[in-house]
Amino acid sequence: MVRPSATARPVGTPRGVSLLGNDLNRYGLRMGRPIRTRRQATLASLAAELGVSRTTVSNAYNRPDQLSPELRRRVLETARRLGYPGPDPVARSLRTRKAGAVGLLLTENLSYAFRDPAAVGVLEGLALACEDAGVGLHLVPASPGREDVAAVHRAGVDGFVVYSVPDDDPSLAAVLERPVPTVIIDQPRVDGVDRVGPDDAAAVTELAEHLVALGHRQVGVLCMRLARERNDDFVSVQRQSAAHFHVQRIRLEALATAFSVAGVDWATVPVVERFDHTVDDGASAARQLLDAYPQVTAVICTSDILALGALAEAERRGLRVPQDLTVTGFDGISEAERSGLTTVHQPVLEKGKAAGKLLLSSAERVGPKIITLATELRIGRTSGPPRTVEEPWFGP
Amino acid sequence: MVRPSATARPVGTPRGVSLLGNDLNRYGLRMGRPIRTRRQATLASLAAELGVSRTTVSNAYNRPDQLSPELRRRVLETARRLGYPGPDPVARSLRTRKAGAVGLLLTENLSYAFRDPAAVGVLEGLALACEDAGVGLHLVPASPGREDVAAVHRAGVDGFVVYSVPDDDPSLAAVLERPVPTVIIDQPRVDGVDRVGPDDAAAVTELAEHLVALGHRQVGVLCMRLARERNDDFVSVQRQSAAHFHVQRIRLEALATAFSVAGVDWATVPVVERFDHTVDDGASAARQLLDAYPQVTAVICTSDILALGALAEAERRGLRVPQDLTVTGFDGISEAERSGLTTVHQPVLEKGKAAGKLLLSSAERVGPKIITLATELRIGRTSGPPRTVEEPWFGP
DNA sequence: TAGCTAATGGAAACCGTTGTCAGATTCACT
DNA sequence: AGTGAATCTGACAACGGTTTCCATTAGCTA
């Protein structure tokens, strides 16, 4: 059991009324009020109690070399006696123009942010960077639904990290208006704003080439949501290229290009979108895809979570992976690793760390900076040559 | 690509110099400075530019009903033109005495906080509660190593949630000194401070009785760290009862009581402690335990993470679970569920949510409040009767 | 003993808001 | 012309600190 220092919190009651300075006056006045609100002790009241100036009290906390050890000891001891908790952080922030915190904007529904291991990894990396620098990490509340931008305005932070939001997000716009540095992770791309992320196009291209090389021509795609409005259905080519989630758009475009090169007409490739990002949604998307396009030999997913769902659906259908169906993911989360998923691994922890460091060092930089992280194609046990049902090699 | 509203951020340059008020004067003075630091526009400079009072500008943002729509439009438009980002959040907080954020203190090494699904669940629940209330969640940097309490003092928050820290944690003491409400999740227990957590003793007792009923008398325990100093080794009874992590202590004590009742001398029961909290640590602890005490028929773990490690070690040794070895956990994380672990499930999401709600409603309450969450013993496939090596039922 | 320096503490400006309140102005309606 | 509402102003006082000079004092030297 711990000393309940919180319960018996003495309140500053000034006594010694010697040498009434301006401050003391103010404080005295305050005491004339109805007492219902017991005022906390302040630096001024502490100074008055001690008969010293506010400067001295402030120095006792922030610049111990500016006053004699003896006086400092007295100040701190009196503070303890009066229950003065030290300088008010908000007032301090106002004066110093430093909040000692970094804001994090993730419009993604919070639940999914905490449930996708990739997102948690980014969060962890960012938190580590902040911890290193001794600054706080301030999660800004901003669900996808609410148009309420006030939370962004209300956040007392020295900078923002924005993680994976659509390019038309109102909260993002609010962040960019704030006169503080900003770093965007993954998406969107905004001119003149720092960014950390992988080279999605290159990574996806490599993956596509792997599948092409295996012989896949009848492919289907499961992707995360492409806009702020829900669409749990097939996606037209037009919607693909108009996607507000830059990462998804780039990945789809890279797939389109790579398969076009291999002679596939992208317009014929089914793409299924899911608004929510869970394994179950991945499964239902796979079901929708395979119901309509049973000839598909490879399901390409733009995230591991979706891919895990696709694997589950394949199992449900009795499809052997990879003999009957190839499934690929993106992210390289540990669950994927365990199930041997073929995927593109990206260093999520590093991503968060890099973003934090970039933001915290942005004072001493001039131009915008883009950090591109390395990705790695990890070929697992879920990709193989397509089952041979179609026209044989030697033609009709 | 998004409009780069952040790049071309005009600076407030007051022009109209009509009716020099005090504010305008101050602002004018300020302009006389060397220009190296381009000043941001402020509410005052905006008012000057518009030729209206600060009150009016403030009202434009905070009380639209106090001024005509036309004037409000003009104010906001001029603000946009001048690049005024709206009232400074820190100044506003100082004035209103509301920070719009909740602090979260988890001294646990951040990496483990993000890697234990139970902790992530709590975090998610807390974040959800905050999001509902529209307040931010401020993660306070405080690694177990650093004695640096400044971060707690620097956090501009309206209250703190403390998650699972040792009772002698200096950051905790700093939190309790702050004049804001506090809610503690799980541990420690502090008189007069709100708390949210399960009834660990009851839950563990139920689990122990399950094992006793199965016939286990030769048991071993794997527990998380008991104090701030590292001890990756067996734990004396004395260290057990002196543990600074209240939850661990309670669980061990409940086990001790339950098994004593069943005729087991607790002093002979091996308990292995691990400072870090990973599956690998669980495995190494199990190895250490089983190497020294091969006669053990059940390994009781104070967390699912450790239990998963124990399962891995059992497999490595070729022990069949539960025929050769019973393993139990605590928490009820989804990984555990998937592997059929016998464990005590606790609603981690609810725990975080409850803590958030409790904190955010603490203004309208008087006394301290304790919320006890229900737990549920979930008997899985990892517990069964002990292998029969010892003396048979009918005696010698 | 005068003079210089370093140590110590204080006065006042400043950070950018919000809130209050009495009063001015305008305008529509009696 | 009088009334009342609606709208806006202006002055000030907070909010609780930090920081830049400046003044005083003490210690020491010449």
Residues of chain A contacting B188 with CB distance shorter than 8 Å:
1-2
Does B154 score more than 60 pLDDT? yes
Is it the case that residue A33 has pLDDT exceeding 50? no
**Structure token pair of residue B36:** 């190296």
**CA separation for the pair B178, B232 (Å, rounded):** 35
Mean pLDDT, to the nearest integer, of B38-65? 79
Q: Which of A124, A149, A146 minimizes the C-alpha distance to A334? A: A124
pLDDT band for A389, please (50, 70, 90 cuts). low
Using an 8 Å CB-CB cutoff, list chain B residues near A85.
153, 177-179
CA–CA separation, B235 and B274 (whole Å): 10
Buried b (16+ CB within 10 A) or exposed e, A79-106: beebbbbbbbbbbbbbeeeebbbbbbbb
Residues 6 or more apart whose CB falls under 8 angstroms from that of B33 comprise none
pLDDT at B144: 64
Closest-approach nucleotide to residue B59, Cα vs C1': C18
If pLDDT is split at 50, 70 and 90, which confidence band does B39 have?
low
| Percent of chain A topping pLDDT 90 | 60
Q: In angstroms, rounded to a whole number, what is the distance separating the alpha carbons of residues B11 and B259?
A: 72
pLDDT in tens, B62-105: 887 777 777 788 888 888 888 888 889 999 999 988 999 999 99
Residue A378's closest CA among A349, A347, A351, A341? A341
With 80 as the cut, is the pLDDT of residue B349 above it? yes
Q: Averaged over B359-379, what is the pLDDT?
A: 89
A8-29 pLDDT, tens digit each: 232 222 222 222 233 333 332 2
C-alpha to C-alpha distances, B364 to A289, A327, A389, B97, B361, nearest whole angstrom? 53, 54, 70, 17, 6
Q: Quick one: tokens of A379?
A: 């070929």
Mean pLDDT of A248-263: 95
B6 with A188: Cβ contact below 8 A: no
Residues A118 and A331: beta-carbon distance below 8 Å: yes
Q: In angstroms, how far is CA B50 from the centroid of its own chain?
A: 47
Q: What confidence score (pLDDT) does residue A7 get?
A: 30
Chain D, protein-covered positions (CB within 7 A): 7-12, 14-20
B7 and A191: CB-CB below 8 Å?
yes
Instruction: Kindly report the length of chain B.
Output: 396
Residues in chain A, total: 396
pLDDT digits (tens, 9 = 90+) for B260-301: 999 999 999 999 999 999 999 999 999 999 999 999 999 999
Order of all β-strands in the sheet with A298-301 = A271-273, A219-223, A298-301, A326-328
pLDDT bracket for residue B367 (50, 70, 90): confident
| CB nearest to B155's CB, from A110, A133, A136 | A136
pLDDT at B4 over 70: no
Taking the C-alpha atoms of residue B128 and residue B136, their distance in angstroms, rounded to an integer, is 10
Output the pLDDT for position B11: 25
Confirm whether any atom of chain C, the nucleic acid strand, is less than 7 Å from CB of A21. yes
Angle ∠(B131,B134,B136) on CA atoms, nearest 5: 75
**Cα atoms in the 13 Å half-sphere on the side-chain side of A390:** 11
- The CA–C1' separation of B66 and D6, in angstroms, is 9
Shortest CA distance to A100 belongs to which of A126, A137, A53? A137
Q: Give me the pLDDT at residue B17, please.
A: 26
Residue pair B248/B211 in contact (Cβ under 8 Å)? The answer is: no
Task: Give the closest-approach CA distance of A260 to chain B in angstroms.
Answer: 25
Angle at B329 between CA B240 and CA B212, to 5 degrees: 75
Mean pLDDT for A38-64 is: 83
Task: Check whether residue B44 has its CB closer than 7 Å to nucleic acid strand C.
Answer: yes
pLDDT mean across residues, chain B:
84
Lowest mean pLDDT among A11-20, A80-89, B335-344: A11-20
pLDDT of residue B389: 55
Mean pLDDT of chain A: 84
Report CB contact under 8 Å: B4, A191.
Answer: yes
Probe site for chain B from A45, A90, A123 (most B CB atoms < 10 A): A90
Q: Which of A62-76, A250-264, B33-47 has the largest mean confidence?
A: A250-264
For A124-157, how does the pLDDT look when each residue is reduced to its tens digit (9 = 90+)?
A: 999 999 998 889 999 998 876 666 788 899 999 9
Does the CB of B38 fall within 7 Å of any strand C atom? no
pLDDT greater than 50 at residue A183: yes
Amino acid (1-letter code) at residue A220: G
| Residue B29 or B144, more confident | B144
- Whether omega before B188 lies within 30 degrees of 0, making that bond cis, reads yes
**Which positions in chain B touch A123 (Cβ < 8 Å)?**
114
- Between CA A152 and CA B231 the distance in angstroms is 44
**Per-residue pLDDT at A150:** 86
pTM for this prediction: 0.85
Q: Assess whether pLDDT exceeds 90 at residue A73.
A: no
| Residue matched to tokens 């220092």 | A5
Taking an 8 Å cut-off on Cβ atoms, the answer to whether A94 and B91 are in contact is: yes
Over residues B205-221, the mean pLDDT reads: 96
pLDDT at position A144 is 63
Residue A273 vs residue A63, higher pLDDT: A273
Rounded to the nearest 10 degrees, how much is the dihedral formed by the CA atoms of A234, A166, A224, A200? 110
Give the least confident one: A49-63, A249-263, B236-250: A49-63
> Residue B85 is nearest to which of A123, A179, A188, comparing CB atoms?
A179
**How would you classify the pairing of strands A136-140 and A101-105?**
parallel
Q: Dihedral of the CA atoms B12, B23, B58, A158 (nearest 10)?
A: 50
